[in-house]
Structure 1
Amino acid sequence: MSGPEVAVFVSGVSSMGLEILAGRVVAPQFGSSIYTWGSIIAVFLAALSLGYHLGGKRAGTRATTDRLVRLLVGTAGYVALLIFFGDQLLLSTTALPLPSRFASLPAVILMFGPPTYLLGFISPYAAQLSRKEGIGEASGHVYALGTIGSIVGAFGTTFFLIPYLSVTYIYLTLGGVAVLTALYLALPEDSVSVLPAIGVVFLLIAATTTGALGYTARGEVVYETQTAYQELEVIDGGDTRTLYLDGQRHSAMDKSDPTRHVFEYTRYFHMPYLYASTPDEIDRVLFIGGGGFSGPKRFAAEYDATVDVAEIDPDVVRAAEEYFRADEYDINTYIQGGRQFLQETDNTYDLVVLDAYKRDKVPFQLTTREFMDLVTERLSPDGMAVANIISSPSGPASEFYRAEYKTMNASFGQVYAFPTSDTGAIQNIELVATKSDTRLTQEQLRERNQDREIGIDLADAIDGYTTDVPTEDVPVLRDDRAPVDRLLDSMVGQRYVIEETGSGSGDDDTNTTEPAAAWGDPALTVRDGGAVTRGQGLHIR
C-alpha cells in the first residue's frame, strides 16, 4: 500500500478503537446504558462526518503527505492528553444541568470528538492523493480501506486490547499506532515533520508512565484489568479489600476476617432462613453473580449446604480466588450467564440469590417475567429467591425496584421488600420471594429471628420490612418489553448509599455516615456486624 493508503487504514483502526474504548471510559461516571452508547455512536459519526465534509472541500488545495502526517500526530497528541487529563475532563462535565439521559454527551464530545474529527480528514485527503484513475475508483478504494481498518480496530480492541490491557495502555497503543504511521509517512523525505512526531512519542510515554503509579484516592491498587465485560479493580483501603467493577464498589472483604459481611446488604441474603419451615431445609443454594464471593463464602462456611455460583466473567472468578480467598471454600463455580445456566442445569435449588445487578448496568434478561418463571421452575416446592436491587425506595428513582417487585409478584406467591438504608437515597433493596401464598408478618419474622440459630442476627434487617409497594404505574418486565434503561434513567447522577457493617461482633443501632460521594464512589453507612468460621475448596467448571 502507498503511504496515504496506510494512513486511511490506520485512521479506521484508530477511530473504531477509540469508539469501543469510549464505552469503558465513560461507563464508571455515566453508566453503560443505551443512552450512553447512543451518545458515543452519534458523536463519533458526527465528528467523522464533519471531518469528511471539510476534508473533502479542502482536499483539492491542501491534500499532501505532510498534512496527513500532521493529522496523525495531532490525533496521537490528543490521545496523550487524554491519558494525562482524561479523568479531569470526564468529571468537569458532570455538573452540567442536562437531563440524565443526555448527561454523558458533553463528556463524549469533549474527550473523543476532536481526535475523531481529525481522523475524518484523512480519507478525502488520501482519495485526492490516490493513484487510482477517476474519482469513483479512488473514493471507493479509500473508503474500503478505511472500513477494513475499522473492522480491525473493532475486533482488535474488543477481543485483544480490552481483555488484556488497562485503559491507559490501550490509549498508548492506539496513539502509538497513529504516531508511528506518521513517522512512516514522514521519513525520509519530510524531516521537518519528524520532530513533532518524535515529541508526541515521548509525550505518550510520559503520560503512560505518570498515569500508572498504582495508587488512587480510594486506596492502593492491588490489581486491575479490562475484562471482556467490564473494568475490574481490586483496591486495598486499610483492612478492607474492595472489588470495583466499572468504577463502582461491588464487593468488599475484611482481610483479617474474610467471611465477615462488610457490606450491609449481603447480610440480607440470610433472610430465607427465617422464611423456611426449618433452616436445615435449605440444602442447595445458587448465587447468580459472584463478585468477590462475599455471600457464597459465608454460606459455605456457615451452613451445611451445597453452594453453587454462576458468574459470566471468568476474570471476576480469578480475582475472587486470588484476592478474596474464594478458593479456600467449598464452592462450585460455573463460568456461565445466570439464565443460560438455569436453562441447562438439572439441579434443583432451595434458594437462588440474584446478585448480578448494578446501579447503571442491569442485564435485562435477568429481570423479566420469563426469567423469574425459569427461576421458580428450578426451585424446590418450598424454594425461595432473593434479588439484590439497586434503586431508591420511593420517588422517580424507584421505578426499577417497583417494576421488579411487580414482575416477581407475577411469578412467585409472595414478595417481601427490605430497603437497607433509612434514607431515601439510591441504595440496595432486597426482595425476598417465596412460592408460598401465605404471607409472614414482621412480628413472625422477629420471633423466628430470636428462636432460630442461623449464625447472624437479622433484627435490623427485619425493621425495614416494607408493605404496600405501589406498582400501578410500572410495567411487568417481559422478554419482548423490558425498558430497564428507561427505568434506571432517573438514577443517573444521584447519590448511591451502601451501608457498611463495623468490624466488631453483635448488632447495635449506632451508625456513622461518611460524606456524600460522587457517582462512582458511594457514601457508606457503618453498622456493627458478626463474624463466622471458615471452610475450604473451590471447584471451577
Structure 2
Amino acid sequence: MTPLFARIVVLLSGAAILIVETLATRLVAPYVGLTLESTTAVIGVALAGIAAGAALGGRWADVVAPTRVAAGALAVGGLGVLAVQPLVRVLGPAVGAGPVAAVLLVAASTLAPVAALAMVTPAVTRARLHSVDGSGAVIGQLSAAGTLGSLAGTFLTGFVLVALLPVSMILLVTAGSCLLLAMATATSRTHVARVGGAAALLAVALVAVPGRCDADTVHHCARVEAEGPSTRVLVLDDLRHSAVDLTDPRRLQFAYTQRFADAVDTAFPTDRALDAVHLGGGGFTMPRWLAATRPGSTSTVLEVDRGVVELGRRELGVDEIPGLDVRIADARTALAELPAASADVVVGDAFGARQVPWHLATTEFAGQVHRVLRPDGVYVLNVIDADPMALVAAEAATLATRFGHLALLVRPDQLAPGGRGNVVLVASDRPLDLTALAERAAARGEPDSVVGDAGVRALAAGASVLTDDYAPTDQLLGG
C-alpha cells in the first residue's frame, strides 16, 4: 500500500464516519425527536463505535494481513452505511420516544458501520509500518489524514451536502465510496463479487423502504398531511406543528393558535391593521390569519429552514398570503437586525423538537423582542411542557425581567398533575384586559383558562431566569 493511497483510504473512512454521525440525528428525529438527548445519543454511539473499531482493527491487523482487514472493514462499513436509513425506518416506529429509545435506535442503525470504518485507520497504519524507524511519522501522517477526513465529512455534510442532496443520496454516495475503496484494497475477487451483490440489495432497500418525509429539509423531516378536503397539517419530525384551512384562513384549529388570536384581538381593535414579526414560519397559519382578519397587516416571518418555506410554497399556498415578507435566517440574529419599535406583535412559534430553541428562550433574546415591539406591543409565545411545568415557569420568570405585565393561557387540566401540552405566554408593558381575554376563551370552549399577572409570577417564583449562559431548556421540559 503506497503512502498516498494509505492517506486517501484513511481520509475517506474518517469522512464517512462523520457523515453517518451527522445524518443520524436527522434520520432518527422523526421517531425520537430532535432533542439534546437524541443528539447526545448520536455522539455517544459514534464515540463508542470509534473506540471499539480502533481496538478491533489494531488487534486483527496483528494476526491477519492488514490490507485484508482494511478491505473487509471498508466493505462492511459501506454495506452498513447503505443499511442505516432502512434500519431506522423499520425500527423507528417500534422504539418510541425518549433518551433510551434514542440510544437504542441510533445504536441499532449506526454502531456497526461506524465501528467497521473505525477499524480502517489502525489496519492501514499497521500495513504501512515496516520497522520502528520512521514509525512516528507514519502514525502522525495517517492520524492527521483521518482527522482531516472527519473535518471534511462534518463541514461538507452540514454546510453543503444536506442542502444539495436528499439524505438517501448522500448515504448512497458515501457507501459507494467505501465499497470502491474496499475493491481497490481487496486481493480476492470472490469477496468483491459477494460484497457487490449485498450492496445491490441494500441499495434497493435504501430507496424502497418508505420514510415519513415529504421533504428532507436542512433541519427537519417535513411532511404535509391532508385532513379533510381543505385542512392541511404540517408535521416536522414527529411533531404536528401547524394546521391550515386552505379555504378559510380565519379558522384556527390548534388551541395554541386560537389563544394567539384571542391575545391579539383583545390587545388591539379588530379593525386595526398590525405589523407582526413571526419567530418561525411553520405552516404560516398566523400570517394567513392576520391577513384575512386584519386587511393591510404585514407579517415578517423569520424562518431558519428554507426547506420548510419551500414546502409551504408548494403545498400550503404561502406565496398567496398578502403582506408577507419571508426571511430565511435564524430568528435570534434576524430579529437583532429589525428596527426598534417597528412591530405591534411578535409571535413566538419556533421549535426544536418540543421546546423553544434555547437561544430564543433567554432574557437576552426577550430584550431583543422588547426592543422591536412598540410601546403598546404584545409578545405571544407558544411553549410545550408537561407536569410540573418547569420550562413554562422558567420562561415566565425570564419574560418578567423584560415586561411589566404577563398572562398565561392554559386550560386548568394542563396545570393539574399529569397535565401537558401547548400553553401560551402573553407579555406586554401595558396592562392586559384579562376579563375580555377570559370571555373570548370561554366563548370558544376553554373557560377558566386565563392566568393573570399575579398568578403567572407565583408560578414563576423560584424558577431560574434563562440566560445565554444558563438555559437548560431540554432538561426543564416535563416528561
Same fold (TM over 0.5): yes
DSSP-derived class of the 2:281 partner: coil
Matched, 1:381 2:375: yes
For residues 84-233 of structure 1, the aligned pairs below 5 Å read 84-94=86-96, 101-130=99-128, 134-186=134-186, 189-212=187-210, 223-227=214-218, 229-233=219-223
Matched, 1:248 2:248: no
Q: 1:151 to 1:441 in 2, by over 3 A?
A: closer
d(CA) in 2 for partners of 1:308, 1:190: 62
Shift in Å, 1:386: 0.5
Given the two structures, how large is their TM-score scaled by the length of structure 2?
Answer: 0.88
DSSP-derived class of the 2:143 partner: helix
d(CA) in 2 for partners of 1:359, 1:202: 35
Determine which of 221, 224, 234 is the counterpart of 2:224: 234
* Runs of at least 5 residues in structure 2 that lack an aligned partner in the other structure: none
Give the aligned partner of residue 275 of structure 2: 284
d(CA) in 1 for partners of 2:45, 2:263: 48
CA contact (8 A) 1:264 1:420 kept: no
Q: CA-atom RMSD, angstroms?
A: 2.7
AA in 2 matched with 1:329: I
d(CA) in 2 for partners of 1:243, 1:111: 27
Q: 1:23 to 1:88 in 2, by over 3 A?
A: same
Q: Deviations over 1:378-429 (max 9, x none)?
A: 222211111011112xx23x11111112211222222111126855543111
DSSP-derived class of the 1:365 partner: helix
Give the aligned partner of residue 449 of structure 2: 464
Q: 1:435 to 1:460 in 2, by over 3 A?
A: farther
Give the aligned partner of residue 301 of structure 2: 309
d(CA) in 1 for partners of 2:402, 2:29: 32
d(CA) in 2 for partners of 1:277, 1:413: 18
AA in 1 matched with 2:223: E
AA in 1 matched with 2:251: R
| More deviation, 54-63/402-411 | 54-63
Determine which of 455, 473, 478 is the counterpart of 1:484: 473
Q: 1:254 to 1:320 in 2, by over 3 A?
A: same
Give the aligned partner of residue 76 of structure 2: 74
CA contact (8 A) 1:40 1:108 kept: yes
d(CA) in 2 for partners of 1:337, 1:80: 33
Determine which of 7, 10, 33 is the counterpart of 2:9: 7
Q: Deviations over 1:193-244 (max 9, x none)?
A: 21122113312321123125xx75xxxx6x31232x3333234454332222
Shift in Å, 1:282: 5.5
d(CA) in 2 for partners of 1:258, 1:175: 46
CA contact (8 A) 2:129 2:135 kept: no
DSSP-derived class of the 1:477 partner: coil
Matched, 1:25 2:21: no
Q: 1:272 to 1:282 in 2, by over 3 A?
A: farther
Shift in Å, 1:458: 5.4
CA contact (8 A) 1:259 1:294 kept: no
Identity %: 31
For residues 382-421 of structure 1, the aligned pairs below 5 Å read 382-392=376-386, 395-396=387-388, 398-419=389-410
Shift in Å, 1:474: 1.8
Give the aligned partner of residue 343 of structure 1: 336
Q: 1:56 to 1:358 in 2, by over 3 A?
A: closer
d(CA) in 2 for partners of 1:260, 1:231: 26
For residues 392-541 of structure 1, the aligned pairs below 5 Å read 392=386, 395-396=387-388, 398-419=389-410, 422=413, 424-436=418-430, 438=431, 440-442=433-435, 444-445=436-437, 449=440, 459-461=444-446, 463-467=448-452, 468-469=455-456, 470-488=459-477, 490-491=478-479
Q: 1:344 to 1:475 in 2, by over 3 A?
A: same
Give the aligned partner of residue 498 of structure 1: none
| More deviation, 379-388/242-251 | 242-251
Q: Deviations over 1:76-95 (max 9, x none)?
A: 22233333332333344448
CA contact (8 A) 1:75 1:118 kept: yes
Shift in Å, 1:293: 0.5
CA contact (8 A) 1:75 1:175 kept: yes
Query: After TM superposition, what 4+ stretches of structure 1 lie above 6 angstroms from structure 2?
Result: none
CA contact (8 A) 1:179 1:200 kept: no
* Runs of at least 5 residues in structure 1 that lack an aligned partner in the other structure: 450-455, 492-541
